[in-house]
Amino acid sequence: MSNIKNCNEKDFQKEVIGSKLPVVVDFWAEWCGPCKMLTPILEELSEELHDKVNVVKVNLDDNQDLAMKYSIRSIPTLLLFDKGNLIDTKVGLLPKSDIVLWLESKI
Catalytically active residues are: 32, 35
Q: Is 87 helix (H, G, I), strand (E, B) or coil?
A: strand
Amino acid at 79: L
Number of neighbours of residue 5 by Cβ within 10 angstroms? 15
- H runs (alpha helix) in the chain: 12, 33-48, 64-69, 96-106
Give the residue from 48, 6, 71 showing the smallest Cα distance to 15: 6
Give the residue from 94, 87, 77 showing the smallest Cα distance to 53: 87
